[in-house]
Amino acid sequence: MKLPGALEGFALADTHLASALIEAMLDAVWLVDAASLRIVAANNPAGEMLGCPAAALCGREVAELCATPEDLCFWREAGAGLSDAIESETWVRRFDGGTVPVTRRVTRLDLVSGQSMYVAVLHDRSAQRRTEAELEERVAELSATLESTADGLLVTDLAGNIRSFNQAFASLWCVPDTLLRRRDDDALFAFMRRSVIDPAGYMRRLAALEDGDLREAVDCVALASGRMLQRVSLPQTSRAGCIGRVYSFRDITARLEAIHRLDTLSHSDLLTGLPTRSVLAERVKFSIALAQRDGTPFALLFANLDRFKHINDTLGHEFGDQVLADVADRLKGCLRQIDTVARLGGDEFVMLVHQADAAGAETAARRVLDALQQPFHHGELSFTVTCSIGIALHRAHGESLEQLLRHADAAMHEVKEAGRAAYRFHQANERGAVENRGRLELDSAMREALACGRFRLHYQPQVDLATGKVLGAEALIRWHDPVLGNVPPAEFIPVAEQSGFIVAIGDWVLRQALQQAAAWHAQGRGLVVSVNVSAVQ
């Protein structure tokens, strides 16, 4: 059904506004008509990604840009109806025939005119994939290094005299050619003693090997040059019995460095260099043991950046990554060397503050808030970032990492609800637990109500007091639950906003209100329908 011209004009203005908004975004964006699945607008980053002017994308079917059969199926299913935003990884086809790996988020947008659009935001993952490939290559190279070192062999008789050695042994120990030509055992052993970091310890270990029970022995020799040799000692036997020993030397310097680097890769966040959750767990375990031994207190501070998603959405993920790295540096600067700052993922950070009671934890939290209030500078852009901090104290709020994290996270969310950019201690009380259970039950009942059609819209008329004429109506949502009875909006709307379910409810309200407005217009009643929309939506 065709709506009046005024509504059509508003829908057109929506499209123009959306086109203007996407031009301000750093990621590639398509506006796709939901009915025809054709692109109606695209920004310049979208054209650059696909190797064409942005205008060349307009009018094209999205199927022409699909690079995989799965992607074709996705858009066909989207054409049949898509209610929730969907984020996935896929490939898109360039104009020159190449493909680009992307992270794609598709959201449905229903305009007042009744037209539906899909907003597709595509983030180029080419650089990320190159980084992942380089990391895999580095790990493969390190693994290959572990197996590519040559062994040096030294054979002695029962008296300790040198019987033979190979060139690899001479190379590993860097024996001079002049000494090799002399074939002087005492001079060679003296050179080896001078080449190690601890000559006395080296000789004691050598004597123990030669005077022992001749079983296999494995140890390491640290050279003064900084290299590390693995030494394997085996008895050499013949039919007559033991005739000497064979010493095998392998340079394990690269192997130890590789193990260290692999350990660093697995225990450090690649973006910020901060410890990961596994490292945090080990350090909290140590802090708990210390507290049990001598009562040393400690605290966990759970920090989450405020409105960080807005930075990613408006300035791009690359810019957001730089902000996370800068925030990590600020957080490290707020704490002592004995403390730990770890990144759990995304924009979540946890700080382990040693020897901290409530006052000490509060001081650390204030330092963090003050540090983040100082402007960040990127190029010509200057901005500030705030965070919400939840604090949990050992023993008072938990005896394990899981308990402390859960309570600190709950306190952080309380800060978010109260207005952000502050800190709060976990409040361990029964009333809070009851309220949490009540919110969960209400959230579950709310989702069931939407699925079962238990919500209703009531329309409150808007009247011109001078003429008494009804000018419009305000759509008001009402809910009658078979178990809970009539649930006021003041009770369930805050819970829906906290869980994010308000978006689904808001979509339903808008659809119902539009259907009613269309019915009134069909009857010749040009009423304006007002709908309250949550800020979350």
Question: CA–CA separation, 377 vs 319, rounded Å?
Answer: 11
What pLDDT score does 505 carry? 93
Q: Give the mean model confidence (pLDDT) for residues 48-66.
A: 91
Any alpha helices (H) in 151-252, and if so which ranges? 167-173, 177-182, 185-195, 199-211
198: left (phi over 0), alpha (psi -120 to 50) or beta: beta
Contact 361, 391 (CB under 8 A): yes
What pLDDT score does 175 carry? 92
Question: CA–CA separation, 41 vs 36, rounded Å?
Answer: 13
Q: Which residues contact 256 (CB under 8 A, 6 or more apart)?
A: 228
Question: CA–CA separation, 38 vs 58, rounded Å?
Answer: 8
Q: Which amino acid is at 265?
A: L
SS (H, E, C) 37-91: CEEEEECHHHHHHHCCCHHHHCCCEHHHHECCHHHHHHHHHHHCCCCCCEEEEEE
Assigned CATH class of 272-428? alpha beta
Minimum mean pLDDT range among 42-56, 161-175, 253-267, 501-515: 253-267
428 confidence band (pLDDT: 50, 70, 90): low
What pLDDT score does 361 carry? 94
Contact 326, 344 (CB under 8 A): no
Interior angle at CA 129, CA 123 and CA 135, nearest 5:
145
Residue 24 has pLDDT above 70, yes or no: yes
Q: What are the pLDDT digits (tens) for 98-121? A: 999 999 999 888 777 777 888 899
Q: Against a cut of 0.85, is the pTM above it? A: no
User: Do the first three CATH levels of 5-124 and 150-251 match, i.e. the same topology?
Assistant: yes
CA 344 from centre of chain:
7
Sheet with strand 116-124: strands edge to edge = 39-42, 28-33, 116-124, 99-110, 86-93
Residue 282 has pLDDT above 80, yes or no: yes
Domain positions in the chain: 5-124, 150-251, 272-428, 442-531
Minimum mean pLDDT range among 77-91, 416-430, 467-481: 77-91
Question: CA–CA separation, 48 vs 79, rounded Å?
Answer: 26
Q: What are the pLDDT digits (tens) for 524-537? A: 888 888 888 776 66
Q: What are the pLDDT digits (tens) for 81-100? A: 666 678 889 999 999 999 99
Q: What are the pLDDT digits (tens) for 388-412? A: 999 999 988 988 999 999 999 999 9
SS (H, E, C) 394-437: CCCCCCCHHHHHHHHHHHHHHHHHHCCCCEEECCCCHHHHHHHH
**What is the chain's mean pLDDT, rounded?**
84
442 confidence band (pLDDT: 50, 70, 90): confident
Q: What are the pLDDT digits (tens) for 356-381? A: 999 999 999 999 999 998 888 887 78
Q: What are the pLDDT digits (tens) for 141-180? A: 744 543 345 788 888 888 888 888 888 889 899 999 999 8
With the CA atoms of 401, 404, 408 and 409 taken in that order, what torsion angle do they form, in degrees rounded to the nearest 10?
Answer: 50
Question: CA–CA separation, 504 vs 290, rounded Å?
Answer: 49
What are the angstrom distances between the C-alpha of 33 and each of 107, 171, 447? 12, 71, 29
What pLDDT score does 8 carry? 35
CATH superfamily placement of domain 5-124? PAS domain (3.30.450.20)
Contact 42, 29 (CB under 8 A): yes
Assigned CATH class of 150-251? alpha beta
Higher pLDDT: 466 or 456? It is 456
Assigned CATH class of 442-531? alpha beta
Contact 245, 160 (CB under 8 A): no
End-to-end CA distance of the chain, in Å? 27
- Counting residues of the chain whose pLDDT is more than 90, the rounded percentage is 38
Select, from the ranges 314-318, 326-330, 502-506, the one with the highest average predicted confidence (pLDDT). Answer: 326-330
What pLDDT score does 73 carry? 86
